[in-house]
Each structure stands twice: as structure tokens, then as C-alpha cells.
Amino acid sequence: MGPYETAQRVAARLYHRTGAASLDFPLLPQDVADSGELRLAQTAAAPPPGRPLTIGWLTVPPGPRSGGHTTMFRMVQALEEAGHRCVLYLYDRHGGDVRHRADVIRQGWPQIHADVRDVADGISGVDACIATSWQSAHVLARRGTAPMRRLYFVQDFEPFFYPRGSQYALAEDSYRFGFRLVALGEMVAEHLRGVVDVDVDVVPFGCDTDVYRPLGTEERHGVVLYAKPDVGRRGYDLARLALERFHRRHPDQPIHVYGDRVRDLSVPVIHHGGLTPAELNALYNRTVAGLAMSFTNISLVAEEMLAAGTVPVVNDSPDARADLPNPYALWAVPTPGAVADALSTAVRHPEPVAHAAQVAASVRGRSWRGAQDELVRLVEGHVHGVGASQPGRQVAR
């Protein structure tokens, strides 16, 4: 063992001896809800037509450039542009300064005007509150007891984030709380229907083609990886093994890595760290292909690569294909060799620049507007009782 592996083993031993794993449980005991025991008050009467609504959003505090929060904030922005007021309720079981969290939001998403509050101060004065993750659904069920409408914006089927066990079961139970379920994409909707015998509202995926777009690059070379080693569903270990094979075949092709810094790749890489969307678009405009691995809902990275002319290599599955019907994506059986083969196919294209223009054209004109408009329509309809059925009996669209 070298000094680095020795340090890792010491840290791992301390982690187990001190019981640090308990810190990973994302809820305080009193915030764990039980679908079999819930008796939540509903709003007695719908607000009068024409009155702007006040909509709460319950979420864990975002970090800079958080993809899931970016999608959520697009929906917040749409409601605000429609004339409604939004309030962000932040939940952090470890505490934290809500003013610091608010600064992160203001700096990272300056288009959002919502009030930022600590959920510990209570959820009140809202016509509806929207949970945004399984943890926040439990908190809404336990703390959002005042009369209000309750919705649940589901961006991924979150039980898949865990091995079969306690957190898997608690995440799954959050879909049984009777909140109006609004799924991002067909993959999530289909899995929700498998858990609860209800229909589900669906908002479509979008792509920010104002940011991710061709820049007229005259040369393309190499491949790119979004690295999240600690997030199993992003397939880092598979990507690492595939890149090692790819490098042996194509040592002249540079490998770019952004996101978390990685130390266990045995091949030369160019580390970029965290990138802004504009910086990321510039990187995509220099590369031929990229790894867009995801073992739950399809990653937004795949279509953003397409918009910039980079060919995404995606682990093949019915779940991933449900929301990425694009002919230029390369689908690979999730094995190191098959993923390396797909990367090789991309970099061997005889005219990479011309091909990149075709790839980018395949998503030209895409945006998040359709998803935003549908989310606004669903929220307004549910709060005003227009076309909204009983909780738990939503209609798929």
C-alpha cells in the first residue's frame, strides 16, 4: 500500500468505528412519515379565480450548479412569470445558516425572486406546497399539516438511489402520501404507476439550447466525462474502466474530466473541475463524444451534449430510451468493452466537424418552455380545482 491507500483505509476504519454512516440518513426521526397513518387537511375552498397564488417549494439546500435544483428553479421561474408568488422552504437535518443558503441560491439562480425560509419556522400562508424529493415529501407530510394543496414534483425514481433496504422503502412510501404526483418524463411516470395504483401527471424533458449550442468550432478531438464517483447511479466505475480501454486503443485522443476530481484513473486526463454552463458548452464544442451515464432517469447531460454537437454515449436500457429518442445518441450495453467500443465508433467518424453540426441540428429549437407551461397549468388547475381529481387519482397527459 502507498500512503494514499493507507490514508483511505484509516479513514474507512474511523468511518465504521464512529458510526459515521448514520450521518447519511437524510431525515430527523420525527420527520419520517408513514403512509398508513397520514390524515392531512385539505383546503376547504379554492381561492377565487384571478388571484395570484402563493406556492411553497420544499427542498434540501442546493449546492452550486446542482442539476436537479436547476430544473426545479426553472419551474419556480415559470410560476413567478405567470404572476404567482413562490416561497422556498429549506430542510437540512444537520442545521445550517439559512442566510448562507439563500446567498447560494441568489448567486447561482439570480432569476429566482422567491422568499427563502427555514422549514423549521413552519409552512404557512401558502395555497399549495410542492415536495421535490422523497425526503422533502416526508417533511411536507409531517410539517405541512395546515390546510393546503400538496404536490410532489418527481424528477427521478429515487428508491433506485439505494440498495433494497430502509431508505429504498421510505423513498417508495413517499409516493403513497396522496400528494398530486407530477413526473419529469415517462420513465419516472411509469415506475410511479408500478408503485401506486394511480395515474400520474407528466411534464416533458427539455434542453437549454440557448446555452448549449454550436460555436462554430473548426476542430474536434477527444472525449469528455462528467465524473461523480460518489453517486453510484452516474456509473463512474464503469466509465473509468471503459476509458482505460479506450485510451489503449486511442492514445492520441485527449480525455477531459469535469465535475468531481478523480484520483483513480490510470490514464492521462485533463481535469477541469466545476464548470459553468457556458464553460461546459465551450468544452463540448471541442470534443467528439462524451459519456452520459445514468442508471435511473436519463441525465440532462446527454441532450446538452447533443445540443453542442458532442455525441453522447449512454448505457442502454428501456428507462434511458424512454426520454431520449434521438438518432445520434450511441447506446452501449453497460460493460467496459461495449462502452469503449461506442467511444471508438464516435472518434473514428471521418468528418467529425460536419457530423457535429448534424448532431446539434437534431435538437435545435428545444427548450424547457413546454415543461414550464405544463407545470404552471397543472399547479393552477389543482389549486383552483379545475380538472383536478381526488388526491392520488391524477390524470396522465
Q: How far is Cα 130 from Cα 132, in angstroms, rounded to an integer?
A: 6
Bridge partners (DSSP) listed for residue 58: 89, 131
pLDDT given for residue 199 in this prediction: 79
Bridge partners (DSSP) listed for residue 314: 331
Q: Is the pLDDT of residue 392 over 70?
A: no
Rg (CA), the chain: 22
DSSP string, 33-64: --TTT--PPPPSSPPPTTSPPEEEEEEPPPPT
126-155 b/e (C-beta count within 10 Å ≥ 16 → b): bbbbbbbbbbbbbbbbbbbeeebbbbbbbb
Instruction: Indicate the domain borders of the chain.
Output: 13-206+369-384, 223-361
**Residue in the structure block whose three cell numbers are 420513465:** 187
Residue range 53-67: average pLDDT? 90
Q: How far is Cα 222 from Cα 313, in angstroms, rounded to an integer?
A: 13
Specify the CATH architecture of the domain 223-361.
Answer: 3-Layer(aba) Sandwich (3.40)
Closest CA relative to residue 264, chosen from 228, 235, 240: 240
pLDDT given for residue 388 in this prediction: 44
Closest CA relative to residue 75, chosen from 211, 183, 157, 187: 183
**Residue in the structure block whose three cell numbers are 411534464:** 203
CB 238 within 8 A of CB 334: yes
Tell me which CATH code domain 13-206+369-384 carries: 3.40.50.11090
| Phi, then psi, of 21 in degrees rounded to 5 | -60, -25
E strand residue ranges, the chain: 54-59, 85-90, 115-118, 128-131, 149-154, 180-184, 201-203, 223-227, 255-259, 270-273, 289-291, 311-315, 330-332
Per DSSP, 389 falls in state -
pLDDT, tens digit (0-9, with 9 covering 90-100), for 161-191: 999 999 999 999 999 999 999 999 999 999 9
227 Cβ contact partners less than 8 Å away, ≥ 6 residues apart = 236, 239, 257, 258, 259, 260, 261, 262
CB 266 within 8 A of CB 296: no
pLDDT given for residue 39 in this prediction: 86
Mean pLDDT for all residues in the chain: 92
pLDDT, tens digit (0-9, with 9 covering 90-100), for 272-313: 999 999 999 999 999 999 999 999 999 999 999 999 999 999
What are the cell numbers at 130?
Answer: 410542492
Residue range 355-382: average pLDDT? 97
pLDDT, tens digit (0-9, with 9 covering 90-100), for 311-363: 999 999 999 999 999 999 999 999 999 999 999 999 999 999 999 999 999 99
Residue range 237-248: average pLDDT? 97
Q: Is the pLDDT of residue 110 over 70?
A: yes
Q: Is the pLDDT of residue 150 over 90?
A: yes
What are the cell numbers at 160?
Answer: 433506485
Q: Is the pLDDT of residue 206 over 80?
A: yes
What are the cell numbers at 245?
Answer: 480501454
CB 178 within 8 A of CB 73: no
Distance of alpha carbon 294 from its chain centroid, rounded? Answer: 11
Q: Is the pLDDT of residue 224 over 50?
A: yes
Q: How far is Cα 92 from Cα 74, in angstroms, rounded to an integer?
A: 22
Residue range 208-224: average pLDDT? 95
Q: How confident is the model at residue 390 (pLDDT cuts 50, 70, 90)?
A: very low
Q: Is the pLDDT of residue 393 over 50?
A: no
Q: Is the pLDDT of residue 253 over 90?
A: yes
Q: How far is Cα 210 from Cα 364, in angstroms, rounded to an integer?
A: 10
Strand, coil or helix: 255 = strand
DSSP string, 101-135: HHHHHHHH-TT---EEEEGGG---S-SEEEE-SHH
Q: Do domains 13-206+369-384 and 223-361 have the same CATH topology?
A: yes
Residue range 117-130: average pLDDT? 95
Q: How confident is the model at residue 395 (pLDDT cuts 50, 70, 90)?
A: very low
